[in-house]
Amino acid sequence: MRSRIISFLIDNDINKNIVGSEEWAKEKLEAYPELAWLLSEEVEHTQEGTPAQQESSWSWKLTGSHYPEFERTIATLVNFYLLMDGSDQAFDRFIEAQQPEEALTRERFNALHTYVAGVVANDGAIIKVIEADLILGDMGKTPKARALARAYSIGEKDQDIFLSECLKKCPQIFPTFEKLPFSLQSDIRESSGLVHFGHVTHLEGGPEILKKLKGSNIVANNRRAFDLLMITYMLDVSGARAHEANRGSKSFTNKTFLAINGMREALYRLVKESESNALSSYVDFRAKLLGLESGTKEGRLLGRMGAMMRLFTREEGQALKTAYQRLKKEQKAVLEQAFDPLRIREERTPTYVPAVFVNFLDTAVKEGMSKEEAVQKCLGEVVVHLADFLQKYRMGKAAQPYNLNQTLNFNKGAGQIRGGNIRILENHVFSMDKDWNVSLS
């Protein structure tokens, strides 16, 4: 008997190759020219995790070199079809790279399948829209897209804002976008830049990160368009660690499901409630997962810290609380100033801050620390120092002047911690270059 995933592809005449095969990836590369833009050493890749897998990667098989962002993007497309399929075989493939104790359950995979299949409704046009969104999402990391955009005076450094500007000013630079029907192009342009779901999931900013989404009324008036954005984000998350292992999704575990589902439920509140109320409900949700007292100033602060550090258990919450209680009064004040989750700031949200914390935790555990010890060290050393840097920048005391319209990017710093050892922080400080990239020097 054919598996449902193979049957799905043949019966719908989309592709007659098994999803995720080398031939399937090659056909996607031919169908979507922008994928080739990711096959370059000059592509800026996300500095999270370890790019360990080589010979098994699609890019290695197709070109003889390993390109992390190509892997991540192809993985999102594969996982899209696995979720649409929903079979036992698709489920087994989806969780193949996950640790058994953290693996997504069949029940939650079913919930994702029901959600995705219900929104897509086997509509070929919608499938193409989601694929286009997944492929275009990281074009801001490619020299090719940036070179084409410069002809239209687009030099935006923030990759998400870059894409939004391109879709409004010069969408014709993307062949995949140009092939879509005009009505679908309009839908993508209108929804582009409304919200950065990752910033919400990891509580990287305050209520201001929901301002455009709330103002658009898309949650209330066009739920399907909102759900399409949400599905694209979930798929993007599913490919986050594909540069390490590209069989299924290494990253979309039970914990990831909990976080994203909680975030989605909080955003549904925007139909009737304010940005602050919607965000505070999610902050409280994250605090409760950690066994912290929700609704309190300390509980919400630590709830945000836990979300940024991607913590989920009560043991981790207790370690976080213990570390916080050990801080000096002035250190607590710095944290509260920098990371109060309900403080509204009229600035761009700094990016890749969670990657700094997560890479530190991963490195500390690999060096022999328990998770609880790593959490305490991360809060007491990394988070406090990063918060101090943010405050100095906001007070105009950093290398570059404070600018509401520039995005602080911590990707380089995250890469340094990932590639070295955690003691790098003992004799380094956070500093920024002329492009607002923050690293340790």
Question: Could you tell me the residue ranges of all domains in the chain?
Answer: 4-259, 293-440
pTM score: 0.92
Inter-residue contact 213 to 270 (CB < 8 Å): yes
Task: Give pLDDT, residue 153.
Answer: 97
Report residue 440: phi and psi, to 5°: -100, 130
Task: Give pLDDT, residue 17.
Answer: 56
Q: Which of 50, 46, 55 is nearest to 22 (CA)?
A: 55
Task: Give pLDDT, residue 187.
Answer: 83
Task: Give pLDDT, residue 14.
Answer: 42
Task: Give pLDDT, residue 111.
Answer: 98
Inter-residue contact 93 to 82 (CB < 8 Å): yes
Task: Give pLDDT, residue 7.
Answer: 45
- Cα torsion 176, 178, 179, 184 to 10°: value is 100
Task: Give pLDDT, residue 419.
Answer: 66
Task: Give pLDDT, residue 190.
Answer: 85
Task: Give pLDDT, residue 433.
Answer: 94
Task: Give pLDDT, residue 53.
Answer: 65
Cα–Cα dist 71/43, whole Å: 12
Task: Give pLDDT, residue 105.
Answer: 98
Residues in the chain where the model's pLDDT stays below 70: 1-17, 48-53, 419-421
Cα–Cα dist 364/413, whole Å: 16
Task: Give pLDDT, residue 94.
Answer: 96
